[in-house]
Amino acid sequence: MPIVLDGKSVAAQIKADLSTRVAALKRQGIQPGLGTLLVGSDPGSVKYVAGKHADCAEVGITSIRRDLSADATESQIVQAVDELNADPACTGFIVQLPLPAGVDELSVIARIDPGKDVDGMHPYNLGELVLHTSGEIATPLPCTPRGVLTLLDHYGIGLDGKEVCVLGRGITIGRTIGLLLTRRNVNATVTLCHTGTKDVREHMRRADVIIAAMGSAGFVTPDDIKPGAVLVDVGVSRVWDEQAGRYRIKGDVDKACYAKAGAYTPNPGGVGPMTRAMLLANVVEIAERAAAR
Residues labelled as active-site residues = 52, 96, 119
168 is in an annotated binding site: yes
**CA pair distance 84, 162, nearest whole angstrom:** 41
Whole-number Å distance between alpha carbons of 98 and 105: 8
Give the integer Cα–Cα distance in Å for 216 and 189. 24
**In one letter, which amino acid is 118?**
V
Sheet of 209-212, strands arranged across: 3-4, 263-264, 230-233, 209-212, 163-167, 189-193
CB neighbour class for 240 (10 Å; exposed up to 12, middle 13-18, buried from 19): exposed
Residue 114 buriedness (CB in 10 A; 0-12 / 13-18 / 19+)? middle
- The annotation status of 169 as a binding-site residue, yes or no, is yes
* List of residues 6+ apart from 222 with CB closer than 8 A: 254, 256, 257, 259, 260
What do you get for the CA distance between the two ends of the chain, in Å? 48
Annotated binding-site residue? 65: no
Q: Judge whether 92 is annotated as a binding position.
A: no
Burial (CB count <10 Å: 0-12, 13-18, 19+), residue 162: middle
> Residues annotated in the binding site for NADP(+), as ranges?
168-170, 236
> Residues annotated in the binding site, as ranges?
168-170, 236
